Structure formats: structure tokens, C-alpha cells
Chain A
Amino acid sequence: MDRRDFMKLAALSGLAVVTPFAPELNAAEESDELYTTGNFFIAFVASGGWDPTNFCDPKGKASEVDQAYETAAIPKAGEIPYAPLNYSPTFFPKYNSELLVINGIDVIQNGHRACERYTWTGHLTSKQHPTFAAFYAAKKSEGRPLPLGYLSYGAYSNTGDLLPISRLRGTAALAKISKPHAFAADDELPFRSDFAQNAVKQALQERQASRLAALKLPKTKTAMGSMYSAQLSASKLKAIEAHLPEDLDSLSALKKQIAVTLAACKAGICISANISYGGFDTHANHETSQNARLNTYLEGVDYLLELAETLGIRERILLMMSSEFSRTPRLNAGNGKDHWAVGSAMFMGPGIRGNRVIGATDSGQKAQGFDPTTMSAIEDKTFRIRPQHIHKNLRKLTGIFDAPETVKFNLEDEDDIDIDFFS
């Protein structure tokens, strides 16, 4: 069975974009199987509901929003105003020229799960839709079976059965699992001869292809295809080791996520990832807790960009920073802020024109109307920026808008409107 035949089988299995394996790859083909040239997509998730008024959509005390700083004290980095809190005074002046802020995004409701889904897939109700990160990884993998193609550290991460989701907790065992054919004590000493190993490999490929071609039910085929792809891609895991920082063990949990993700990207075994940082659901003690979280979050983004620079992949990273929703304008009785449907997102990376703020909320943190032709916020307009508009633009920006799966994973864009947020 040749590779093409197997790809057909894989398509039948339901994993339309994942090729389970390619028999007997030579060295050149092995190299081709890595993701070495395309861009990466990283969703940097603030889980729980962040408060944009404490960084990218500042209001100050003169507004109707409970704020800890004066409106007159709101600084600007280029064209981007920001709150003088947490890590913002370091972050915004450092990155404003590359940074696009979209404010006034209306996610319509305020339940965590539904809004996570809406924010990261662009579809409010569908349980089948993949996150953009999953969709992107599936399309950009172009048949390469990558062990960490879509790496998720949490948050909403549905894949639409386009590819398996990858999790990687702990890296100590990576060296061992990526070299299964040898004794732990001496990894140069194989269990059996090369002939035996190759014979097993060949027999397995034939058996797996035969089983995949059998008239199994869809769920079985998907699971089989996924498993064979997983087994085949496993040997590539070892490539990550060379790019892990020496101080990995001493890093915070968030920075570990970032370091492992970037090492996997650099190694060519990862295309997209969810970096997840939680604790933003500050129903009590909002100011202290929210700012502490934002501080760590923005510092984490800074760390990611610096490390990516060091690894030489900074220019290939498309970064989306967002949260499922935002916080209410007013403090509650416990000095907390509850859920609020109008929030923000920030973008950086290839194709993103920075130093801009699109969309707005009013002084009460309500979504302002938006004119998509002039790209400006207008009070008397009823049109609102919603996640599907952003995702449609993301799909176009990254060249996957016309993918066949778009029919299945439509964005319910009733306005049928193109908004060019990014360029």
C-alpha cells in the first residue's frame, strides 16, 4: 500500500486531514513530515473572564465603571491607550507597534462554557465546531502526522474530529517514550534486531491498513485512524528535547506551557496551541486578584515573544489573546465583578497591522455600535462586532476560509459581511 492509498483510507476514517502514516519513509521524507516553514497560531487564553478596563480598554474613574485610576492618568502607547495597572506599562509601550486591540466584542451572553466556545470557535451554539487553533492545525498539517499538532493546555479545545488534541504534562519521560525499541539502561541496545523491528513495522502497517479499510462504523474508523497516526508520529517527539530551555524545571507553570509549546513549534511537531492561564473569574476581591492575574498573563505574553525571538520563530507566530467575556462595570457587594458580555481581544503576528484599536465600549462599558465600512465605532449603529466576524477574518487571513470543511463549520454570519480587522 502506498502513501496515497493510505491517505484515501484516512479520509474515509473521518480524520480527513490527518494521514495516519507513511510507510518506509526515507530520510528526506522524514524531514518533509515536520512543520518547518508555515506560521503557528497560538491562542493565549485568559480563562474565567478578564477585565479589559484594567488594561486594553481603560475607562478611569470619570466613567461609569468602577476603576482604581483616574481617567486623566490613562497613558497611550502610540495609538493604544492602556490602564496604568499591572504589567500594562511595560507591555503596551514595548509591543504597541505590532499590537491590534479589538474592543467592544459582543459575545451575547455570559455563561463560561458557551462564551468560551463562541470566542474560540466563532460559533455560539455548535458543539461540533473546532476552535480556530484546531482548524488551523488540521489544515496546515497537510497530511503530516505530528505528535503535538494541536497542543492544548486547557480552555475550550474542541477539534471537530479534524485531528486529535494533544496534551503534554511533564517532559521528563519524553526521552524514554520517543525511543521505545531499546532498553532504558542502554538506549543504544535494541530489544531485537533491526530486521525484526522492520518486519514488525511492515506487518503492522499492512494489518492497520487492512483493518482501516474494513467496513467498520464511523466512530471506530476515526479512533483507528487517530491511533495509527498517533503511533506513527510518536518518534518525532524526541525532536522537542533540543529546544527546551535548560531552566525548564524552575519555570512557573505558565512559562512551562509556553516553553514547551515553542520548543514543539521550533521542532516542527506543533502547529497551534492553547496556552491557558486561569483565575480571572474574580467575583470577589476583583482589583487585587484581577491585576495579579493580568500581570502574570501579560508578562507571560512578553516571555513568549522573547523566547520565540531567541528560538528564531517570532515572525511565524500569530497570537490571539482573549477571554470568554469580561467583567461587569460595577463592583458587587464582595468587591468583585461578575460576568459581562462585552469584551476584547488582542492580536499580533504575521498579517496583523499593529498600533491600532478597533471597536469601542462606551463610558458604561456597553458595546458601541460599529460601522464596518469605516471601521469606526459609532454610537447610533446597532451593528456589533461578534466573534464570527473575527473568525471569518482569521480564516481569510490564514488562507483556510475556502477549505472544504468551512461548509460543515460555517460561522452563522447572518450579516454576510467581511470586516478586515487585520490589515
Chain B
Amino acid sequence: MKSLIAAIFMISLTGCLLEGSLESTPGPKADLGKNDGGSNDDCISDELFFNRTVNTMITENCSGCHAATGVAGTSSFVLNFSGGYADYLERNLATSQSLAKQKNPDFENRSNLILKPLDIAKHDGGKLFDADSAEALILEEFVKRIDNPTECGDTLPQKPYLDGIKPLDNYQQLRRATLLLAGRLPTQEEITLAETSGVSDARYDALMTEDAFYGFLERGWNDILHTRGIEFPRSGIDPGTFPLRAWWNSLPNVTAAEKAAFATARYGTSRGLRQGPLKLISHVVRGDKPFTEILTANYAMVNYFSAKAYLGTKPAGPLDLATADFSAADALPFVDPTDPNEFIPVTFPGGGTSGVPADEDYYHAGLLSSSILWHRYTSTATNLNRARSRVFFKVFLDTNLEELAPRAGDANLIVNYTNPTKDFNQCSVCHTPMDPVAALLQNFTTAGYRRPYGGTWDPSYTPGLAGNLMPADRLKDPERWLGEQTIIDRRFPLAMVVNGYFLLTGRERLEATTDTSALYFTEQQRAYEEQRKEIIRIAKAFVDSNYNFKTILKEWLKSPLLTADISDTELSAERAVELGEVGLVNLLSPEDLSTKMMAIFGKSWQATNAKPVLSDFAAAYDGRDYADFYYLYDGIDSRELTTRLKNPNGVNGAVMNLLAEEMACQNTAFDFSKPADERLLFPNLDRLNTDESAIRNNLVHLFERILGQRLAVDDVEIDKAYALWSSIQQDGVSNMGQEGYPESMMLSCNTAPERALILAAIPEDKDSTYTVRAWQSVLVYLLSDYSFFFE
């Protein structure tokens, strides 16, 4: 048995002492663990010993009964055999430690962890293995370690995880961070600084003050929350509390001017409502506020239009805008009320059907009180708020409720229970954490309105979180109690680190492998452990920075797991699995790719009618031209399409090919038409210049600008690119005027205004040296490259 062989191998090594397994129990602001500072190369930490040997062994021997869904599911030794809990190994370690510490006075104070499986102390499952078996040896060693914790560093009897892996250089790290966070290329000054002293924390911090960063942040969080996918956001807020939720609908809509005003009001209101939750996140981050505020904020974010929807009042009866009162919205300090993108925080008044007394402020609890968020995850009367509870656990506590019981037993037994969600362990394993949180959200209706609860909630589950019951006097505002409890749960900072990882990589965190028979089990386990360590490290930094979310992004971008770039040697199959998640490999979304094109070319990809081809989500959502391309190139609608692709398919490939061709065509002559010192692609290069040295110098510039590759002028890649340029240019000149070789610069791919600009600068419209098309070809070559589409 592979795992036991590994265990025996590890036991044979001299153990020395290590303090500091990870805290495992969720609950009030637990310590996230300690930094181990030792460096004894022969030392095996208790945590590693448990992960690689004890947990493997108990998974193979105990999972049949000692899972929450097993026959021993009500015993004190209940283990997790699924990845539903991100910290499942840490939980199992804590449970095993607890049993190991139980010394049985009837048997010479030996540990029950050993006595039970040997059936020396009574074990309902009988004797599982012999006293001299490898399994028993493992448990003996584990108990010794519990009694005398091993104190050694975090070093392992194996090579360092990233041994032989080179990181990106400082320039590459700077370029990546600048493009991802700020949507631009780094300046020369920034590059010089990075090359001399690395990418400083201050540089990361500065990037995250730029406006473009908040676009990145909101897009990323929408990929998690998907609130932009709400088709009619006004339907998510309660007309009983917000009677003017669709105030624009009463505007006159006959003349052209009226239609325009109507459309502006409708768009502004929908945008204000739909974007509110995402704007709350960016408001907290922009102000360097503790990120816990996303669950506790006593306000919501509104633009002027949605402020009218939330704060407007009217006399009883049908809506008449002449008598409607928008004074509360009008009094808000908007700089430009007509700007639908200006959002400010506002505390709503109570009253209406919300259940909040009219003389109190609305019971805001950040995202948790957002009807828009809960409207995105509509509920049903008989499963009230369970889906919302699932979303809550996944996003804010990194706990996947649906994965808590993958090894359930006999479903037929359900008929023996009148209340299976509470009493049948195959159901209760998920419902026990899920239903108390669903109960905390009980004041939100199936549509997401906040209305005092009056339904048929299952009374067998008391509102609470992680075993903590909500005090009765908080029945008035359970969502606020939930927020208060969540932010002191140990899992909250860890979950935010996982969300930050998703924002940067588009990937979920790794899950622990529970199948001990899996090929490369040990390697998969190590990959998980190494990433988990990094998640915990960053979570501590996050907490230490007073929960500043920027810390998470900064620490991830600096993390060796994401800066890893290239291997010294060819990797073995085992090593390839171990390093399977290492490196930042992110197929750029259409939004991010558009931003990158803006950074490189000063403009994005556009059709000849000037419409954006890879339009952003809002444009695609509104059904504007070319929305097709948005979806063909990995766009999501946050409704039916909610996930991005990790690797491109043939459809993406087709869009990539088209993009390369059209961007090359649209930008070559156009860039040459600008004054030499304003050009982005061909600075100070004459369009007709065919001198090899000048061409090579410009190729160096293009490799850096487009791909971020800094090459010497005699680099082999420059040789190849020059050969390409030269062969095409010479062929063009040789055949000029013949079929397929028109003299024109071929400007049909440009918009009319661009064509006019180009022809003003180059009125002859001649490419008789074929240099424009040679450069176009080189641009296609570069724009088809992996480094352009991935970061």
C-alpha cells in the first residue's frame, strides 16, 4: 500500500519536535497559526506527519463509519472525508489530537486512538488491524507526537517545493501587476525602479489607487457574486418599502428628448441597483477600510438614479411624479448627479414593509442585507434561503456545503425519519450548518425583499452560525448578527484570500485529495498543502493589515506560487503533478483583453463602424452590436454563463486569429500616420525605412510592448522576426502591382475617421515599399502569441 509505505518511510526518519499545528476550529477570531521558524532538514512536522500518514490511514480504515453520515457519525470521533471544508485536514488533525489525548485508565493510560481500532477498548467496528501492523505503528507515533509536540521548522525530508523553479524577473512581475491591476503598461521610471530594487509594496499599493483597479475589482467580484446577471434589478427591491423603485417608468416617453431622458433614467436606475453590491466592495477597498465592512456596513451604495428609487417617497395611491418627493436623493452630495457611475454611501430610513421601525435606520449589514444580492439567488417557499445559505458559505467562509457528504450511505433509510434534514445523518451533515444560516436570512422573501418573516421555517433549526446560536433579542435583525459573527469566524479571512486568488487567476483553490488510491495521491496532497500554507500566510497578513483587501492581492502577486515561471530541468510526471497549480496562468477575459489592448495600442479592437468588438459586459448585456464576439470569446452573462474558460477552445482560437489580423491591420498605418514621437508601435521609425538595424530596433520595441519580452537586438527571436519582416517586404516589392499586391495601404479595416487621419498624413495611400504590410505581418505574428492572450 503506497500510503503506508510512505508512512513507514517517514516514521523511520528521526522525528524531532515541532510546535504549531494549525488551528482548526472555526469560531471567535481564532489564531490563524504560527510562523515556524526552524530549519532542521531531518525534521518532520506533526502536521505533515498527520497529513501524509495518519489522515491517509484513517481515510482508508475509518471513513466507512466515522464520517458524519456513517454509523459512528454521532460519536466523538467524526472525521471529514471530503473537500467541503477547506480546512478539512486541519479539522481531522484536531479531532485526532483530541482522541489521542484521551488516555484510558483501564488500559495503563494508553490512548484511545490506539486502543479503539485494536479493539482493546471496546470498538463497535471491531479490530481493524494488529498491534504490530504499520497502521498501529503510525498511530503510536502520532500519539507520541501529541504527547511531545515536535519542534522543528517547516522543513520536510524532501526538496523545497519550488526547487529548480525560477521566478519571473522584476520587470515581468511589474508588467504583470501593472496590467492586471491598473490596466496599463509600466512607465520607464517604474521599470527602472523595479529593476534596481524589485517591485516594492509601495508600487503595488500605488497601482491599487488607480481608477482602473476598481474596474478590475468589480469585474472580479461579479465573477463571484454574479449580481450583474440580474435582468430586472428593480424586481429585487420591495415596492412596499421602496415605492419609487421604478420611478423612471412614469416619465413622459413620447418625444425624442423625452425618450432619451426616459432611457437615461431607466439605464441609470438599473445600473445603480445592479451595481450596488459591487460598488460597496470597491468603496470599502478604495477607502482602505477593513474588508469586514462588506458584511457590516451600515449603508448601501447608490448613484443618483438608484437613490431616487431607494429614497423617493410618494403619497398613497398611483404614482404621480408631480407629487413624488425626491428631496432626500436631491440632497445627497453627488458631484455630478447625471453620472450613473458616481456612487456614494447612503443609509436608508426604516419603515414600509421592511419590518424596520420607521424611526430607525434600515437594518443594513453590507452585502448580507442587499436585496439585490439575494434577488440574484431567488429562493423557494419550501427551501427558503437554503440556496442563499450555500452561497453565503461558499463566498464568505470558503465552505462548500454540497460537498460535505459525498460518501453517504443508504438513501432508502430516509423513510425511517419524520424530520430527515435534522435527524437522518445523511441529510443533517449538510443541513446542520446550512439551515441555521438559512434561518438567519429568514426575513428575505423568495424574491429577496426584506419583510418580517411569516412563513413556515423549519423550527427544528435555530438561527445561528457554526454552533453559535443567535440571541433571541436579535430576531429583529438576524442578518446583522450573521455579519458580526462571520467576520470573527476564522474562515472569513481565509475565504477572502481564496476569493483574491480567484480574482487574479480565474481559478478555484486546490482541494485536498480524499481518494488515497488516486494516482499521484502524495503529489496532489503536497500541492494542496503548499497552497494551503500560502493561503494561511496571506490570511495572517490580511488580518494584520486590519483586513485590507489590497493586502491579499499584493501578497498573492508577490507569492512564489504565482511568480514561478520556468523549470531548470524537464519535470518528472510526479513533479508535474506536484507543481500543477503553480504559476499565474490566466486566459484574459474579454474585458481584461480589451483593457490590455487599450494599454498597448491606445485603443481597443473596433469594427469599421467604430463599435467595440470585444465589448465589455455592459455593452454585451445591452445587446449592442458585436455582443456575439463577447460571448464567443469567453464572456459571461452571469445568468446562464457564469464561469470562464481556463483553456481556449476552437471558437476562442478563431476570435484570437481574427483579433490578431484586424488589430494588426487597424494599427499599422494608423500608428505610422502619427507624428514620430507620438507613435506607440513605431516610435521614431520612418515608414519607408528598410534598414536592418532600424527594423531590428523596432522589433525589440514591439516584443516588449506587446509581449513583455525584453530581447537583445541580436536575440534569436529578433533574428526570426526580422527574417519574417524582410522576406515579406522583399516579396512585396518584387511583386508590387501584380494580383494580390495592390499598391494601396489597404485601409478598409480602419474606421472612417481613422482613414481620414491616415490619408491626411499619407495622402498618396501607397505602400509601394510593402513595409506597412510587412509590419502588419509582424504584428499578426506577435498578436497570435500566448503571452498576449494570457497573463
Q: A residues bordering B, Cβ < 8 Å?
A: 14, 106, 108-114, 124-127, 145-149, 154, 161, 164-170, 172-173, 176-178, 180-181, 183-186, 189-196, 199-200, 203-204, 206-208, 211, 214-220, 222-224, 226-237, 269, 283-284, 332-334, 336, 338, 340-342, 364, 366-367, 407-408, 410, 412
Q: Which residue of A lies closest to B575 (CB)?
A: A218
Is the Cβ of B650 less than 8 Å from the Cβ of A236?
yes
Other contacts beyond A108-B406, A224-B786: 12, CB < 8 A: A177-B651, A183-B749, A192-B728, A217-B583, A218-B576, A219-B580, A227-B789, A228-B786, A230-B649, A237-B650, A334-B381, A342-B412
Interface window among B171-179, B510-518, B671-679: B510-518
Is the Cβ of B657 less than 8 Å from the Cβ of A227?
no
Is the Cβ of A125 less than 8 Å from the Cβ of B653?
no
Tell me whether A231 and B784 are in contact in the complex, defined as CB-CB below 8 angstroms, given that A168-B632, A172-B628, A222-B647 are known contacts: yes
Asked if B319 is an interface residue, CB under 8 A from chain A, the answer is no
Query: Across the interface, which residues of B come within 8 angstroms of A333, CB to CB?
Result: 381-382, 456
Q: Which residue of A lies closest to B507 (CB)?
A: A219
Is the Cβ of A227 less than 8 Å from the Cβ of B648?
yes
Is the Cβ of A170 less than 8 Å from the Cβ of B405?
no
Is the Cβ of A219 less than 8 Å from the Cβ of B83?
no
**26-76 of chain B: CB within 8 A of chain A:** none
Q: How far is the CB of B84 from chain A (nearest CB, A)?
A: 9
Tell me whether A183 and B567 are in contact in the complex, defined as CB-CB below 8 angstroms, given that A218-B576, A336-B380 are known contacts: no
Is the Cβ of A169 less than 8 Å from the Cβ of B641?
yes
Is the Cβ of A223 less than 8 Å from the Cβ of B426?
no
Is the Cβ of B411 less than 8 Å from the Cβ of A110?
yes
Query: Across the interface, which residues of B come within 8 angstroms of A228, CB to CB?
Result: 786
Is the Cβ of A183 less than 8 Å from the Cβ of B411?
no
Query: Across the interface, which residues of B come within 8 angstroms of A194, CB to CB?
Result: 740
Interface window among B115-123, B345-353, B772-780: B772-780
Is the Cβ of A170 less than 8 Å from the Cβ of B632?
yes
**603-639 of chain B: CB within 8 A of chain A:** 607-608, 626-629, 631-632
Is the Cβ of B583 less than 8 Å from the Cβ of A180?
no
**560-591 of chain B: CB within 8 A of chain A:** 564-571, 576-577, 579-583, 585, 587
Whole-angstrom CA separation of A176 from B382 in the bound complex: 48
Q: How far is the CB of B60 from chain A (nearest CB, A)?
A: 12
Is the Cβ of A366 less than 8 Å from the Cβ of B631?
no
Nearest 6 CB-CB pairs, A to B?
Answer: A147-B650, A230-B653, A234-B654, A111-B402, A226-B647, A341-B411
Q: Which residue of A lies closest to B430 (CB)?
A: A111
Query: Across the interface, which residues of B come within 8 angstroms of A196, CB to CB?
Result: 728, 731-732, 773-774, 777
Q: How far is the CB of A372 from chain B (nearest CB, A)?
A: 18
Asked if B321 is an interface residue, CB under 8 A from chain A, the answer is no
Asked if B403 is an interface residue, CB under 8 A from chain A, the answer is yes
Is the Cβ of A366 less than 8 Å from the Cβ of B412?
yes
Asked if B192 is an interface residue, CB under 8 A from chain A, the answer is no
Is the Cβ of B381 less than 8 Å from the Cβ of A227?
no
Tell me whether A231 and B579 are in contact in the complex, defined as CB-CB below 8 angstroms, given that A113-B403, A180-B658 are known contacts: no
Taking a contact as CB atoms closer than 8 A, the residue among A113, A184, A200, A220 that contacts B780 in the complex is A200
Q: How far is the CB of B283 from chain A (nearest CB, A)?
A: 32
Is the Cβ of B655 less than 8 Å from the Cβ of A177?
yes
Is the Cβ of A211 less than 8 Å from the Cβ of B786?
yes
Tell me whether A180 and B657 are in contact in the complex, defined as CB-CB below 8 angstroms, given that A203-B724, A332-B382 are known contacts: yes
Tell me whether A184 and B567 are in contact in the complex, defined as CB-CB below 8 angstroms, given that A195-B728, A227-B647, A284-B382 are known contacts: no
Query: Across the interface, which residues of B come within 8 angstroms of A189, CB to CB?
Result: 748
Query: Across the interface, which residues of A come within 8 angstroms of B626, CB to CB?
Result: 173
Whole-angstrom CA separation of A53 from B732 in the bound complex: 71
Query: Across the interface, which residues of B come within 8 angstroms of A186, CB to CB?
Result: 748
Whole-angstrom CA separation of A190 from B739 in the bound complex: 11
Is the Cβ of A407 less than 8 Å from the Cβ of B632?
no
Q: List 10 A-B contacts (CB under 8 A).
A: A111-B402, A111-B405, A147-B654, A166-B651, A172-B628, A208-B786, A218-B577, A234-B656, A237-B651, A341-B411
Chain A CB count within 10 A is highest, among B408, B607, B789, for B408
Query: Across the interface, which residues of B come within 8 angstroms of A172, CB to CB?
Result: 628
Whole-angstrom CA separation of A214 from B716 in the bound complex: 14
Asked if B415 is an interface residue, CB under 8 A from chain A, the answer is yes
Tell me whether A214 and B566 are in contact in the complex, defined as CB-CB below 8 angstroms, given that A109-B406, A113-B403, A196-B728 are known contacts: yes
Query: Across the interface, which residues of B come within 8 angstroms of A283, CB to CB?
Result: 380-383
Whole-angstrom CA separation of A110 from B658 in the bound complex: 45
Is the Cβ of B381 less than 8 Å from the Cβ of A342?
no
Is the Cβ of B657 less than 8 Å from the Cβ of A367?
no
Taking a contact as CB atoms closer than 8 A, the residue among A109, A113, A165, A169 that contacts B411 in the complex is A109
Is the Cβ of A367 less than 8 Å from the Cβ of B731?
no
Whole-angstrom CA separation of A214 from B786 in the bound complex: 13
Whole-angstrom CA separation of A106 from B409 in the bound complex: 10
Query: Across the interface, which residues of A come within 8 angstroms of B566, CB to CB?
Result: 214-217
Taking a contact as CB atoms closer than 8 A, the residue among A167, A227, A367 that contacts B653 in the complex is A227
Tell me whether A124 and B576 are in contact in the complex, defined as CB-CB below 8 angstroms, given that A217-B165, A342-B411 are known contacts: no
| Chain B interface category by residue count | 35 or more
Query: Across the interface, which residues of B come within 8 angstroms of A148, CB to CB?
Result: 649-651
Is the Cβ of A124 less than 8 Å from the Cβ of B641?
no
Is the Cβ of B570 less than 8 Å from the Cβ of A215?
yes
Asked if B790 is an interface residue, CB under 8 A from chain A, the answer is yes
Is the Cβ of A231 less than 8 Å from the Cβ of B649?
no
Is the Cβ of B652 less than 8 Å from the Cβ of A219?
no
Taking a contact as CB atoms closer than 8 A, the residue among B408, B580, B640, B727 that contacts A199 in the complex is B727
Query: Across the interface, which residues of A come within 8 angstroms of B583, CB to CB?
Result: 217, 219-220
Taking a contact as CB atoms closer than 8 A, the residue among A147, A204, A220 that contacts B649 in the complex is A147
Is the Cβ of A166 less than 8 Å from the Cβ of B632?
no
Query: Across the interface, which residues of A come within 8 angstroms of B409, CB to CB?
Result: 108
Is the Cβ of A181 less than 8 Å from the Cβ of B647?
no
Is the Cβ of B653 less than 8 Å from the Cβ of A232?
yes
Whole-angstrom CA separation of A309 from B592 in the bound complex: 43
Taking a contact as CB atoms closer than 8 A, the residue among B405, B430, B632, B785 that contacts A173 in the complex is B632
Is the Cβ of A338 less than 8 Å from the Cβ of B585?
no
Asked if B251 is an interface residue, CB under 8 A from chain A, the answer is no
Is the Cβ of B380 less than 8 Å from the Cβ of A199?
no
Chain B CB count within 10 A is highest, among A148, A216, A234, A408, for A234
Query: Across the interface, which residues of A come within 8 angstroms of B731, CB to CB?
Result: 193, 195-196, 199
Query: Across the interface, which residues of A come within 8 angstroms of B382, CB to CB?
Result: 283-284, 332-334, 336, 338
Is the Cβ of B380 less than 8 Å from the Cβ of A127?
no
Q: Which residue of A lies closest to B747 (CB)?
A: A183
Whole-angstrom CA separation of A146 from B651 in the bound complex: 10
Taking a contact as CB atoms closer than 8 A, the residue among B405, B571, B648 that contacts A164 in the complex is B648
Query: Across the interface, which residues of A come within 8 angstroms of B381, CB to CB?
Result: 283-284, 333-334
Q: How far is the CB of B646 from chain A (nearest CB, A)?
A: 8
Q: How far is the CB of B442 from chain A (nearest CB, A)?
A: 16
Asked if B720 is an interface residue, CB under 8 A from chain A, the answer is yes
Is the Cβ of A200 less than 8 Å from the Cβ of B657?
no
Is the Cβ of A168 less than 8 Å from the Cβ of B580?
no
Whole-angstrom CA separation of A164 from B644 in the bound complex: 12
Q: How far is the CB of A338 from chain B (nearest CB, A)?
A: 7
Whole-angstrom CA separation of A189 from B741 in the bound complex: 11
Asked if B746 is an interface residue, CB under 8 A from chain A, the answer is yes
Q: Which residue of A lies closest to B404 (CB)?
A: A111
**683-722 of chain B: CB within 8 A of chain A:** 717, 720-721
Query: Across the interface, which residues of A come within 8 angstroms of B577, CB to CB?
Result: 218
Q: Which residue of B lies closest to A178 (CB)?
A: B654
Query: Across the interface, which residues of B come within 8 angstroms of A199, CB to CB?
Result: 724, 727-728, 731, 777
Query: Across the interface, which residues of B come within 8 angstroms of A126, CB to CB?
Result: 515, 518
Is the Cβ of B519 less than 8 Å from the Cβ of A408?
yes
Q: How far is the CB of A164 from chain B (nearest CB, A)?
A: 4
Whole-angstrom CA separation of A183 from B640 in the bound complex: 33
